[in-house]
């Protein structure tokens, strides 16, 4: 496939550049008036229109992208898209001013989703998650991480992870699976935390390892959920089975989650709506990626993460959706990029890099995804005609994605 007359080819980073830290996020190379050649699902070559080689200029499978930009696909490194039902019944509670903790205490929240999921079949879960994933792909997402965590029993957590594996097998996008049984304590273990942790460690983990169902392990480390000590115990148990940590950290409070994450060599710490100088200092000397979820802040009405200070501290920032039925019922990465700019005061270049190359790095796939480079996978999207790159986040709520290309082929859903 040859794409010609591209207004701008966005995100051209050297293939060896796997993550962007601090000031590097502002550097978003764009080649104007460009062509791009795709072969065998990979980016074969690109350049300026004036230098297009004669031997490829007459290829039969050509697309003209006049007036349009080409972006690397969004890489969404934090989602919970396998769930049984939406939770709009909690929507009014939020409008009334009920807090996240109050809704959970009233039987809502994660336990509400767990009750519904335990009754759903694997096929039902797969079919609903597939619809969500297709919609995300059509909005420009070309790689995704999906967490379990609405099962909270051995059979239901395994069921979720098997659904994620089916999605992996049937969709043309890379998908990473994260085991998140430590999302909340089931009602029967409300006063027996160690009993549930033992269930995770002694029963769930061996079965997940036996079936090779997960890439990562995650814990919701927060007051009212899992303590720092409990988190450390679970992460160390996961490591024995080769599961690398990705932590829900500092969503509602500065909890010590960052320190336990870094001590366990976490790939990413996600949320960080609450942070302080200690948070930044702990992360400054680590390779851990800071994954920010602004649409969660938007929906819950909680503070937005301090992206500017994280960038100033030379940290690697990623953006992701947190798509889930309770706190972020949307998988639209375009809106996430807009919120990164509007609410977290990131420049468009920073937000786009955070949602592409650094999102890929948070899933350990940036060798092949997240930027435009020869030899990388041709997971891209072509925009509608736009006056500039900044127009994409500027026009929030409007999709500027026109054509989605995955593995070098146009994706129709």
Residue numbering of the annotated binding site for Zn(2+)? 78, 80, 248, 322
Known binding-site residue numbers for Fe(3+) = 78, 80, 248, 322
Known binding-site residue numbers for N-formimidoyl-L-glutamate = 150, 324, 326
CB atoms within 10 A of CB 97: 8
CB 65 within 8 A of CB 384: no
Structure tokens at 70: 């080409």
Residue with tokens 């995704």: 144
Known binding-site residue numbers = 78, 80, 87, 150, 183, 248, 251, 322, 324, 326-327
Angle 19-23-29 from CA coordinates, rounded to 5°: 70
Structure tokens at 333: 């990465």
Coil vs helix vs strand at 241: coil
| Cα 337 to chain centroid, rounded | 12
Q: What is the largest CA-CA distance in the chain?
A: 73
Known binding-site residue numbers for 4-imidazolone-5-propanoate = 87, 150, 183, 251, 327
Given strand 175-182, what is the order of strands in its sheet? Answer: 74-79, 141-147, 175-182, 216-221, 244-249, 268-271, 289-292, 317-319
Beta partners for residue 405, in sequence order: 380, 410
Coil vs helix vs strand at 177: strand
Structure tokens at 27: 């550097």
Structure tokens at 349: 């270049």
């Amino acid at each position: 496939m040859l794409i010609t007359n591209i207004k701008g080819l966005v995100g051209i980073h050297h293939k060896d550049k796997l993550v962007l830290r601090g000031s590097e996020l502002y550097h978003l190379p764009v080649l104007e008036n460009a062509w791009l050649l795709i072969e065998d699902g990979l980016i074969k070559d690109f350049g300026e229109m004036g230098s297009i080689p004669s031997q490829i200029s007459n290829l039969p499978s050509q697309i003209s992208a006049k007036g349009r930009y080409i972006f690397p696909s969004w890489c969404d490194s934090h989602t919970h898209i396998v769930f049984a039902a939406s939770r709009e019944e909690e929507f009014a509670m939020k409008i009334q001013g009920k807090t996240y903790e109050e809704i959970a205490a009233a039987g809502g929240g994660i336990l509400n989703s767990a009750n519904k999921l335990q009754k759903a079949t694997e096929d039902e879960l797969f079919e609903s998650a597939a619809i969500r994933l297709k919609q995300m792909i059509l909005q420009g997402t070309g790689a995704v991480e999906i967490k379990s965590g609405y099962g909270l029993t051995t059979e239901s957590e395994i069921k979720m992870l098997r659904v994620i594996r089916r999605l992996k097998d049937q969709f043309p996008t890379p998908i990473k699976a994260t085991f998140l049984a430590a999302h909340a304590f089931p009602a029967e273990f409300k006063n027996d935390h160690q009993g549930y942790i033992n269930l995770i460690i002694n029963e769930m983990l061996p079965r997940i390892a036996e079936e090779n169902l997960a890439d990562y392990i995650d814990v919701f480390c927060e007051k009212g959920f899992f303590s720092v000590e409990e988190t450390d115990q679970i992460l160390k148990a996961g490591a024995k089975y080769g599961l690398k940590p990705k932590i829900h950290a500092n969503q509602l409070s500065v909890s010590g989650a960052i320190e336990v994450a870094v001590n366990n060599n976490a790939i990413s710490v996600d949320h960080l709506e609450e942070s302080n100088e200690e948070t930044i200092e702990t992360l400054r000397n680590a390779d851990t990626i800071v994954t920010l979820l602004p649409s969660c802040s938007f929906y819950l009405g909680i503070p937005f993460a301090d992206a500017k200070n994280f960038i100033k501290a030379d940290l690697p920032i990623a953006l992701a959706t947190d798509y889930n039925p309770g706190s972020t019922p949307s998988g639209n990465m375009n809106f996430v990029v807009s919120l990164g700019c509007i609410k977290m005061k990131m420049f468009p270049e920073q937000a786009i890099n955070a949602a592409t190359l650094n999102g890929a790095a948070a899933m350990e796939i940036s060798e092949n995804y997240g930027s435009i480079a020869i030899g990388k996978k041709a997971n891209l999207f072509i925009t509608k005609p736009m006056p500039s790159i900044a127009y994409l986040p500027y026009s929030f709520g409007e999709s500027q994605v026109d054509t989605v290309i995955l593995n070098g082929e146009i994706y129709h859903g």
